[in-house]
Chains A and B, each alone.
Chain A
Amino acid sequence: MIARTRVVLDAAPSLGSLYAKATGARLRQMLPDAKREALDLPHVEHQLAHVPVDPAKLVAYQRLMGDTVRDTLPSVFVHGLVFPLAMSVMVRDDFPLPLLGMVHLSNQVNHVASIPVDATLGAIAWAESMRGHRAGTAVDVIVEVTDGTRVLWRGVSTYLARGVWLGSKPGSQTEARTPFVAPARTGSWKLAADTGRAYAAVMGDYNPIHLSAFSAKALGLQRAIAHGMYMAGRALAGATPQSTGYDWEIEFATPAFLPSSVDVAFEDKADGMSFSGWGARSGKPHFSGSITVAPRTSASGE
């Protein structure tokens, strides 16, 4: 593995400025295919020595998700705290994929141990595993959150730059997809038109595709879509253990256009729980995932 150069950030960049920068990057990266072919991920990792946790934001988050207010950090809240750091890697001039318009495919998270609200946290983020995907190019963005001595939280977010091909465009790879059949629902979420704005107000993630029909249209969507991490947060609320670590993952299928009625199903498994959500009217799958609670003895970084 090629060693990564560490870039230390003084403070978490604001997502607003990152989105502005991303717009520029999008234009800059409209390069001919041939030029992009040689591009590689930057061999860097961005570090934030101190990740501030605002207890008031934590309460607001827990209320938003319908979770109990506790002094420990929900896993998706941690994701939100370090998302600006992850973004800072993706908006670098030498990051080869256009950020805006990127599709969020999945998350895999090791929530290694319970994280108290007053923990002193630091984080490191980098990108790896840029690879071909049937619809473009996928990349993993890794973030590790530590308390200075060990990794408490490790998240892999996978994004897809749709229609962007690093090499030559692959031939027609039509994977036979099994049609989605909704299971018996165990719950129903009514996502109001302002769901994206409510999430942004708490987590600071003002991505225009989630905020309003108007801002989403500007980016080519018919209406605003529900934030994937909002849905992940709802799924995990009340379903994760409090005193031990756990792993969870979520995979996104089709977007949920706001306002939306999402039917969900939770199912107990021997070592945790699986969950899925789909459009109550459209019947289209929005997400599926699982929570795995397993006794963990140690956690490794990479």
Chain B
Amino acid sequence: MSDTQQPIRPAVVIGGNRIPFARSNGPYSKASNQDMLTAALDGLVARFGLQGQRLGGVAAGAVLKHSKDFNLVRESVLGTSLSAQTPAYDVQMACATGMEAIGSLANKIKLGQIDSAIGGGVDTTSDAPIAVSEGLRSVLMDLSRARSTSPKLKAISRIRPRDLAPNAPGTGEPRTGLSMGDHQAITTKAWKISREAQDELALASHKNLAAAYERNFFDDLITPFAGVSKDTNLRADSTIEKLASLKPAFGKNLGAEATMTAGNSTPLTDGASAVLLGSEDYAREHDLPMLANFVDFEAAAVDFVHGADGLLMAPAYAVARMLKRNNLTLQDFDFYEIHEAFAGTVLSTLAAWDDPEFCKNKLGLEAPLGAIDRSKLNVNGSSLAAGHPFAATGGRLVATLAKMLHEKGSGRGLISVCAAGGQGVVAILEAR
């Protein structure tokens, strides 16, 4: 064992695997988070021959989680053919869960603490946890603490009929009471993003994803699950007319100015993804491909509660900080993977980076980050077409981008993922 610290070494993306994403309450209705995460891991293990291996760590998570799934990832690992000596832990950072899991594992590899890892995520809104009401829960807890009949009866007598209604998880932000879509509607309006621009982005997402399937791009990134072999939200035959005919789904309080529809917003989706990371030595020793280096990642958060920023605008800040640290400009990338929570999110973020006032006042930059070449944006489709099983999106993005960079053989890619709670995680990958 060395008594000096090792220099930082590259963390390499070796490959990825996901199950097709399926619209909620569809083909995966009976699948649990553990079932789906295990399936994604199984496929990855099979693809890269990891059977029996003790990996350095497996980190993943789910946004909507049952309390029984307190060790979701470890339980999933125990269900795979990975060595039972592979440690695993759960991460939870809303829609940035997958990115945070993968990024922190990459850091461990860079520091030489571990040589190999799997990061990813899973989510289902079809098998969501239902909880008892706060009123009933309070009574049940007092009941369990009561030691004699009298306090027990007193506790039971507090139950009211309305307490018997269960609580389903909501999509509202706890501190504002607004749904994520209604929050984005505020931002979309503030940045004057048109309905047409959002519909065009949505259409491009479907067209690009369909084309990627057409050229078998996903053959080594997806394993079928529950009879599904392709993302069920994909509408290859979607048209701008069809999208334009949809009624507003969010920001309906804006009346005629409402622009966000079910077509330019992601649907609730079930699915899981996993990404294999390793050191260069690990990849070489196991004769595994090296698609891209996981160069850096950055998290940011904004104060959306009191209206200072839009709920989903944190990546605008994270990218500015990460670019500065890496001496890069926004134009130094060959691919941009900007998670399409809503078309409005992508377009608001791009508008912010190109806005001198926002870049000066909010990001503290003398000059705006500028515009990007839109032909490099989400070239194989993104969440509007594929769907968005919250915690699984990070793994989809990293695996997709790493493969694209490897195919190109050179260059750099930027990932940007927004998340509930006014957070976001962004990352840089470099081709190998």
- Chain A residues near B (Cβ < 8 Å): 66, 184-190, 238-239, 263, 265-268, 273, 280
Contact = CB atoms under 8 A, between A and B. Distances in A.
A266 B305 contact: yes
Interface string B282-311: 000000000000000000000111111000
Interface stretch (B2-10, B46-54, B176-184, B383-391): B176-184
B190 interface: yes
Nearest to B186: A184
Contact of B307 (A188, A268, A280): A268
Interface string B136-169: 0000000000000000000000000000000000
A268 B306 contact: yes
A268 B177 CA distance: 19
Contacts of A239: 306
A267 B307 contact: yes
Given A189-B177, A238-B175, A184 B307 contact: yes
A238 B303 CA distance: 12
Contacts of A266: 305-307
Nearest to A265: B307
Please give me the 5 A-B residue pairs with the lowest Cβ-Cβ distance, nearest first.
Answer: A187-B176, A186-B307, A266-B306, A188-B177, A188-B178
A190 B306 contact: no
Contact of A186 (B174, B176, B189): B176
B359 to A, nearest CB: 20
Contact of B304 (A186, A238, A265): A186
B253 interface: yes
Contact of B178 (A66, A185, A267, A268): A185
7 contacts: A185-B178, A185-B253, A186-B306, A238-B175, A266-B305, A266-B307, A268-B306
A17 to B, nearest CB: 26
Q: From DSSP, what is the main secondary structure of chain B's interface residues?
A: loop
Given A238-B305, A266-B305, A187 B178 contact: yes
B182 A188 contact: yes
A184 B176 contact: no
A187 B176 CA distance: 4
Q: How large is the interface on B (under 10, 10 to 19, 20 to 34, 35 or more residues)?
A: 10 to 19
Contacts of A187: 175-178, 305
A75 to B, nearest CB: 17
Which of A186, A238, A239 is most buried by chain B, counting CB atoms within 10 A of its CB? A186
Contacts, number: 43
A128 to B, nearest CB: 34
A197 B340 CA distance: 43
A118 to B, nearest CB: 24
A188 B186 CA distance: 12
A187 B174 CA distance: 10
B176 A188 contact: yes
Interface string B213-230: 000000000000000000
A266 B177 CA distance: 13
Contacts of A267: 306-307
Contacts of B174: 66
Contact of B305 (A185, A186, A280): A186
Contacts of B306: 186, 239, 266-268, 273
A179 B227 CA distance: 59
A186 B178 CA distance: 8
Nearest to B187: A184
A235 to B, nearest CB: 11
Nearest to B304: A186
Nearest to B174: A66
A226 to B, nearest CB: 15
B312 to A, nearest CB: 14
Interface in B292-351: 303-308
B338 to A, nearest CB: 24
B393 to A, nearest CB: 26
Contacts of A189: 177
Contacts of A238: 175, 305
Given A238-B175, A238-B305, A268-B308, 10 more contacts: A184-B190, A184-B307, A185-B178, A187-B176, A188-B176, A188-B177, A188-B178, A189-B177, A267-B307, A280-B253
